[in-house]
Every structure is written in structure tokens, then in C-alpha cells.
Amino acid sequence: MNSIFLRAKHWQLFVPAIVVPFVTMITFSIIAFFAIIRLEKNNDRPEDFLWMFYLMPVIFILCGFVQFGWSWSVLSKLSKLIPPHVRFPVRRVKLLFIVPILYFCLLPFYIIFIIKTITYQDEANLLTVAVLGLFFFLLHFFSIFCMLHTFFFVAKTVKSIELQRNPRFSNFVGDFFLIWIFPVGIWFIQPRINALVEKATNFSAGQEELIDSI
């Protein structure tokens, strides 16, 4: 159970997932605001401030890395503690888990493409923007379904281990919504996960001591 996401404290997940991206976006917005004013006054070229928009994928990836990395750790590592009789469709869960990651990785580049098209008034790319827009529109809703699917099984995983049985949705509906609002929910879910990991670690250590004593 050697996972940094499962062993981390709630605040250690909250800071890189929310605080750092938020502060970065505020700083970026202030810089962009003054850059646009300078552009209008001095007739600078758009290239002089467009570089800032390339920071957007970095911010998206940092925020998404924490949430998806945490969810993946629960589904792939913590799930090993689920009782054998509890049904867990591993392949489907992992397959649908990947879809939102692809969406969030591609979306910032599409936004940058739109900004460049509008900035340079490139009419030749308008059709491409429209076609990609339809693609991302459909992918967006499918990604929402995939994320809800992931939240469902993350919540079910935690509750299954705690109850040591196959729980009904009513048993973990609260956890489902806590995971949905990840920045807030992590303060309530992570301490329970820390306790499960510590319990499993102590149990394994106890077994090893018992074997050594025989």
C-alpha cells in the first residue's frame, strides 16, 4: 500500500490541487490584464502576451494530476483490500477512467487554438474550430459520465473496505457527493483512507512478525 496519494494528509492534497492553481490563475489574470492594456497603447504584437496562454495546460494538468492520481490509487491499490465477494469490474472502471484524462489533456490546446484563431482573425481555421467544437461538446458529456462512474466506484471501494461487505448505494451516497466536490470532500474522505491504510499496514506487519516467530 505504498502510495503517496493514499498516505498523504488531506491538506497535502488540497494545496497542490486547489491553492497552487488558484494563486497561479490569479497571477496569470493580472499579468494578462496589464499585457492587453500595454498591447492597446503601444500597438504591440499579440505574440508578446500569447505565451501566457501556454501556461494553461500546465495549470490544468497540475490540478487534474492530484485528483486523478488520488482516484487511481484508490481504484488500483486500495481496492486490493475489498472483500473477495464484492463485485468490482476492474477493466471497465479503468477504461472509463482514462477518458476524462484525455479530455482534460486535449481541451487546453483547443482553447489555445481558438484564442489564436480569434487573435489573428484567421477565417481559414473557423471550420476546424467548429468541427473540433462539436467533437469536444460530445466528449465533454461523455467525460462527465465517466467521471461520475469513477466517483461511484471510488466511494464504493472505501465503503466496501470499511463495512467488509457489498454496500448499497444508499450506504455511500454521501461519500459519492463528497468525492464529486473533491476539494471539500477530500478533507472528510482522506482521513478515513489514512486509517484504512494504517490498519492494513499494521495487519501485514503483524502477520510478518507471526511468521518470523514460528
Query: How far apart (Å, rounded) are the C-alpha atoms in residues 57 and 107?
Result: 8
What confidence tens digit (pLDDT) does each residue in 164-201 have?
999 999 999 999 999 998 888 889 999 999 999 888 87
The residue ranges of DSSP E strands in the chain, in sequence order, are none
* Mean pLDDT value of segment 48-77: 77
Model confidence at 46, pLDDT cuts 50, 70, 90, reads: low
Cβ atoms of 213 and 185 closer than 8 Å: no
Q: 52 or 190, which is more confident?
A: 190
Q: Which helix (H) or strand (E) holds 2?
A: none
Q: 28 or 206, which is more confident?
A: 28
Q: 203 or 26, which is more confident?
A: 26
Residue closest to 77 by CA, chosen among 4, 181, 173: 4
Residue 16, pLDDT score: 82
CA-based end-to-end distance of the chain: 25
Residue 86 is given by DSSP the state S
DSSP three-state, residue 113:
helix
Residue closest to 66 by CA, chosen among 10, 108, 146, 28: 10
* Mean pLDDT value of segment 41-63: 64
- Residue 85 pLDDT > 70: yes
pTM listed for this prediction? 0.77
- Residue 45 pLDDT > 60: no
Residue 166 is given by DSSP the state -
Q: Would you state the cell numbers that stand for residue 132, as one nine-digit string?
A: 473540433
- Give, to the nearest 10 degrees, the angle between helix 126-163 and helix 90-120: 150
Query: How far apart (Å, rounded) are the C-alpha atoms in residues 110 and 117?
Result: 10
What confidence tens digit (pLDDT) does each residue in 123-146 have?
677 778 888 888 889 999 999 999
Residue 210, pLDDT score: 42
Q: Would you state the cell numbers that stand for residue 121, as one nine-digit string?
A: 482573425
